[in-house]
Structures are given as C-alpha cells and as structure tokens.
Amino acid sequence: MPMTIRPACERLSSNILGLLRHHRSGLFMLAIAVGLVSGAGAVLFRLGIDAWTKTLTGAQDYTLSLGPGTGALSFLGRWFIVAAPVLSGLVIGPLMTWPGRAPTGHGVAGVLWSSRASDGVMAPGPAATTVVCAVLTIGGGGSVGPEGPIAELGASSASLFGRRLGLPRQAVRLLAAAGTAAGIAAAFNAPLAGAFFAMEVVLVDFTVDAFTFVVLACVSSTVLSHHLLGTSLSLSLPALNLAGTAQLGWVAALGVLGGLTGAGFSRCRYLSADAVSAGADRLQLPLWARPAVGGLLVGGLLLGIPSMYGESSAVLGRALDGRYPALVLAGLVLAKIVATSVTLAVGMPGGVFAPSLFIGGMLGACFGTFVAPDRPHAAAVFGVLGMGAVFSGAARAPITGIVLIIEMTGEYNLLTPLMLAVVLATVTGRFLTCSTIYTEELRRRGMSIEDPQAPTSFGARVQRRWRARRNSTGRP
C-alpha cells in the first residue's frame, strides 16, 4: 500500500508545482496568497504603530490632544517628546545596521532597485526588520509614513513563494509588484490606488496580466484588512463640491503650486540626507549611533512643533475642517517638509507617501482659505485637491494620485478638478526635475530609470550644466 501511495503523492505534488509555475490560474492563486501575507503584515504594522505610540505618549494618536504625555515617559514632563525619538533611535540604529542591512536598499526605492536589477524579490529578514524599525520610528514621533516599509514587506513576501517554488523571473517580478500593491492597499484602505501604484511606479508597464496580478493581491489584502480592522474612509468629510467652473482657474493654479511644492519636497529630502551624512562623517559617528543622535534633532523639532508627531492624522483632519488660519497652514507645510526630511536623513526608516499627502492637504487648505475665505468648505475642497497635486508632483504617478484621493475621501464630485490639478502638478514636476522622489535615490546609486521625456526637462538641463561646471573646475 505505501509503495502505491508514494508515487501518487509525488505525481500530485509535481502537478501542483507545474500549475503554480507555468499556468496563469496557478500564478493568480499565488497572487492572492501574496496579497493575504501582505495584508496581514500591514495589519500588524498598524497595530504596532498604535501600540508603540500609546506606550510612549498614552494615546494612539498624540496629535489628537497635543497635551502632556501620559505614557511611559510622562515622568520627563514636556521633555518626553524629545526622549521618544531618541529612545526609538537607540533600537533602530543597531537593527538597521546589522539584521536590517540589505544590498537592494529599503522602501519603495529598494523595491524599484530590486525590480530593475534582479527579479524584484527583497530578502524577508531585512524587510521585517525595516517594518519593526518603522513602527519604532512612527510611534516614536518620526514624521514619516507607512508605505515604504510596507511596500518592502509586500515585495519580500513574494520570496516566500517565488524562490521556494522555482518560479520564472518574470513571474517573481509580478508577484513582488503585487505584494507591494497589496501592502499599500491595506495600509491606506485603497485597493485600486495600490494597484495603480504598482503599475505606474514599480512595473511602469500596463498589461492585462500585470493588472490582474496586482488587483487580485490588492483585493485579498484589503478584504483581510477590512475583516480585522473594519471598514472606514481614511478621511471623513462632508459632501464637497466646487462652486462652478469659474473656480477651475484657481484649481489650475493650485496644481502648478502643488507640482512646485512636490518637487521642492523631494529636493529638500535629499539635501537633508547629504547634510546629515556629511555632519555625521565629520563627527565620525558610527552608523548604528546615528538614529539615536539624530533623534535629538527630531525631538527638538517636535518640542517646538508637537503637531509633527508621527503621521499627524488628526492635524490633517483639523486643517481640512477649516480650523487653522492661512499663516498657520503655510507654517505646517514647511514644518512637515523639514520634519520628514530630517527623520529620514538621520536613518529612521519610513515612507514619503503619507507626508506628501499631509503637505498637500495643508497647502490646499491654505490656498482655499486665502482665495475663498467666505466659503465654509474651501479649506476642505482645495485641501483634497492639494493632496493629489503634491503627491503627483513628487512621485509623478497621476493615476495613483487621482484614484487614491477619491478612495480615501469618497469625494467623487471633485473628480474633474482633481484630474486637472494632478495632471498640471505632474507636468510641473516633470519640467523641474529629471527624477522623482523615489527614483532620485536610484540615480544617486548609478541607476537610471527615468521616463523618455525626463532628459529634456528644465531640471535635467540645469543638473547637466552644474555637473559640467563642477568637472571643469576639478571639484570632487
């Protein structure tokens, strides 16, 4: 009996492996499995952020109250807000230096590098370490978002299936993109935006097979997230509408301004990294100590502007509700750009997706408060449009920007002006820069994955002239 069962089991196993490796139906099943793994990771990530924030501050979202902390560091009085990022940095530094070290890099840029340089897979160990460190970063006050680490975790989940099953390179690459999309879909409760993000940013390829892969993964991760965390819009707003087509001129102006701000945010993010790296090298700080020492910079910013703590979700909600004057909103735009840039520069991992939405929301609310002070919902209307504009100006992913804002807010009445603002922001960003906030890191590492029109941009011409002048003077 055992002699007859064993060959049958071997044939069944071989047939299953053949199905998973070479047939679309089997690969679609793997896409669903990758989506479930990514969705579970996103849920644990969110729960971890809430738990660490509550441990340090006494609240799941400190920006709801912005008062004295009631958590584990409350004995420090108002200085707890400085100690929180330093304490997180003490753990982040060693973790990111040793178990979290990866040749591909981290976050969305790491996913892009792996997708272009190899088969798209990222090592699960460093990815899991990055997620843990991002929990400590955001919960400890770092002004970053969740999409970078969760995208890395989603891509790494493909290795749980791809390498073990011996899948072809193209199949593994699609699974990695599907995992990235699934993680973002679960993190932002936006399945369609997650799918388009993978298509526009990671794959840069619109095919039926690729779209099917990422959609299946996004649906499975979102269903799991809804089952475990519940369903709700990311931003709860009243029904909004633009007051007539005459306002489209202001929308166009906001789109251009959003593109300028998105490009400026990207530039500030990398200039800050250069400055911090040069300063740390001059002080001969080891890599493992930089997040803890840099936590003093982050904590100093939070001491002056505590509303920059973590993702600042409650602050964004109050801004869209029209509770801040225009001058305060403009200050919050600059504060978030600086806080996010410094957090990433000191070696604390996180994403720029959520901060760009916050910056856009503040910019749009400020713009709406200024141009339509008599309209009660002007801050919300232009704030929603600004969110899509700044994200698209920084990432140059217009379809993702449009779909994401609609999914997060449910404001379908703003679809037409949102499309206008996002497209103009994308064109402005392309005119100014030869890379996006994601691809600039790859350019610095020697890889060029720019779109065909990028070399003709104003930013590209300026950079070429600057490099030629630097080389002619013999500067390093």
Contacts of 159 (CB under 8 A, 6+ apart): 121, 122, 123, 124, 172
Please report the domains of the chain, with CATH numbers, ordered by start residue. Answer: 15-229 (1.10.3080.10), 245-440 (1.10.3080.10)
Measuring CA to CA, which residue among 319, 398, 296, 406 is closest to residue 366? 319
Cα within 13 Å of Cα(108), Cβ side: 25
Rounded to two decimals, the pTM is: 0.91
pLDDT confidence of residue 453: 47
pLDDT confidence of residue 463: 59
* 9's tokens: 């089991």
List residues bridging with 145 in a β-sheet: 351
Q: What is the block-wise mean pLDDT of the chain (476 residues), using blocks of 10 residues?
A: 52 50 74 92 94 95 89 93 97 95 88 80 90 97 94 86 77 89 92 94 84 93 90 76 80 97 97 96 95 96 96 94 95 98 97 96 96 89 97 95 94 94 96 91 79 54 61 57
Q: Cβ distance 269 to 438 under 8 Å? A: no
Other beta carbons within 10 Å of 30 = 25
Rounded to whole angstroms, the Cα distance separating 25 from 172 reads: 15
pLDDT confidence of residue 15: 46
CA of 388: how far to CAs of 148, 370, 405, in Å?
18, 19, 6
pLDDT confidence of residue 32: 92
Listed in order, strand segments (DSSP E) in 171-218 are none
Rounded to whole angstroms, the Cα distance separating 125 from 103 reads: 12
Identity of the amino acid at 296: L
Rounded to whole angstroms, the Cα distance separating 49 from 44 reads: 9
* 401's tokens: 């920007």
Cα torsion angle, 329, 330, 331, 337, sign: positive
Rounded to whole angstroms, the Cα distance separating 364 from 467 reads: 35
Q: Cβ distance 193 to 404 under 8 Å? A: yes
Rounded to whole angstroms, the Cα distance separating 299 from 140 reads: 9
Measuring CA to CA, which residue among 347, 317, 344, 346 is closest to residue 332? 317
SS3 assignment, position 427:
helix
Rounded to whole angstroms, the Cα distance separating 82 from 92 reads: 16
